[in-house]
Amino acid sequence: MSDAPDDADRSVTVADREGHAGDPVRELALDCVVAGIEAAHPAGVVDDALALDGDRLTVAGVEDANTAHDDATAAYDLAAYDRVLVVGAGNAAGHFAAAVERLLGGRIAEGAVVTDDPVETERVAVLPGDHPTPSETGVESARRVRALTADAGADDLVIGLLTGGGSALLAAPADGIGLDDLRETTEALLASGATIDEINAVRKHLSAVKGGRLARAAAPADVLGLAISDVTGDDPAVIASGPLSPDPTTYADANAVLDRYGVDTPDAVTARLDRGAAGEVAETPETGDPAFDGVGVRIVASARTALNAAREVAAARGYDPLVLSSRVRGEAREAAKTHAAVAEECRAAGDPVAPPAVLLSA
């Protein structure tokens, strides 16, 4: 359903790689980066996280959306469902859909995902969207995803694929909110210094799909969410603004964020949030809501996945790898200053690790 290249190969090509040839340190750094990217690529993580035996799909480490218990191994008899539908959004959603197609094949009835990086698929429609600023094209694509999800019945299984970039790509504004309203509010929040959690608290309450509303649309179907995390802490409620997860925030919280940072919003946004805070608009579903009775979510890859792969490469080359953190926040240029200081300390005093060493973080 796409004219894009086939996605079976997850190898990463580094532009101008030859320009770094002959410098073993730069070569090692690039090899670590490439290993990390490839380790978290959907083509590999789907095979690692999902097992198919006949029509029995098994997924380990699934977190129940209502209890947050993540030690369960979920099994799905695909032959027992009327339909298996695949939906989703994110920068890697097309690759994700292609990987799931390769595993499940004709067991998938149909699907739709929104991405800005299309790949070739057969059963799942790969729809266009834009990132980081939502577009009218993306809104139409997101509405198609929601419509397919809402069409699911009690005897269907919905597989939701979520990756980084899903917040912008799954842009289906709530009733009364226009795309320009959403853009203006998001841009103001990004410029204000608000955290991603605070931004999401607002965006979830301006959306028809975020903050658990896609799960509500899918009910009473069973839902298996598979997510590649790009957020600190790997909270499913934060990845792509949590379309399949309970939302702990409220309209009042959203208003509090805007007040805290002095963000002015379009009249339509102000009106919706005020109506929601007054109880005139339905809240996003929270933990315990029946919308999540059949919902399970599995984080199939994260920053830790990439770091572990990079660490293995460094160790194999004879270096002592040290993971500083998988939870680095802030601008990369600022984080780099701290990393350089740690590297200088290693070189001067052998602390926290003596050379030859590789410092890793994400």
Closest CA to 222 of 157, 271, 172, 170: 157
pLDDT tens for the chain, 362 residues long, are 544 445 565 677 777 777 777 789 999 999 999 999 999 999 999 999 999 999 999 998 888 887 766 667 899 999 999 999 999 999 999 999 999 999 999 999 999 999 999 999 999 999 999 998 889 999 999 999 999 999 999 999 999 999 999 999 999 999 999 999 999 999 999 999 998 889 999 999 999 999 999 999 999 999 999 999 999 889 999 999 999 999 999 999 999 999 999 999 999 999 999 999 999 999 999 999 999 999 999 999 999 999 999 999 999 999 999 999 999 988 899 999 999 999 999 999 999 999 999 999 99
Rounded Cα–Cα distance for residues 243 and 211 (Å): 5
Instruction: Choose the CATH number for 17-38+305-361 among 1.20.1050.10, 3.40.50.300, 2.160.10.10, 3.40.1480.10.
Output: 3.40.1480.10
Q: Which residues contact 71 (CB under 8 A, 6 or more apart)?
A: 61
83-89 vs 156-162, strand pairing mode: parallel
What kind of architecture, by CATH, is found in domain 41-172+207-249+284-301? 3-Layer(aba) Sandwich (3.40)
Boundaries of every domain in the chain? 17-38+305-361, 41-172+207-249+284-301
Rounded Cα–Cα distance for residues 91 and 116 (Å): 6
Question: Nearest 5°: phi and psi at 360?
Answer: -125, 145
Closest CA to 240 of 257, 222, 255, 227: 227
**Number of helices followed by number of strands (H, E) in the chain:** 12, 11
Look up residue 256 and give its amino acid.
Answer: A
pLDDT tens track for 20-72: 777 899 999 999 999 999 999 999 999 999 999 999 999 988 888 877 666 67
Q: Exposed, middle or buried, 84 (CB in 10 Å: 0-12/13-18/19+)?
A: buried
Cα 287-292-297 angle, rounded to 5 deg: 95
Dihedral through CA 58, CA 60, CA 66, CA 68, nearest 10?
Answer: 180
What is the reported pTM?
0.91
pLDDT tens track for 348-357: 999 999 999 9
pLDDT for 70 = 61
Residue 319: CB atoms within 10 A of its CB come to 18
Q: Which residues contact 181 (CB under 8 A, 6 or more apart)?
A: 173, 206, 265, 266, 268, 269
The token pair at 89 is 């959004």
Cα 290-153-127 angle, rounded to 5 deg: 100
Check residue 209 and report its DSSP letter. S
Question: Nearest 5°: phi and psi at 136?
Answer: -60, -35
Rounded Cα–Cα distance for residues 232 and 221 (Å): 30
* Residue 276 CA: distances (Å) to CA of 206, 215, 247, 251, 253: 10, 20, 14, 6, 11
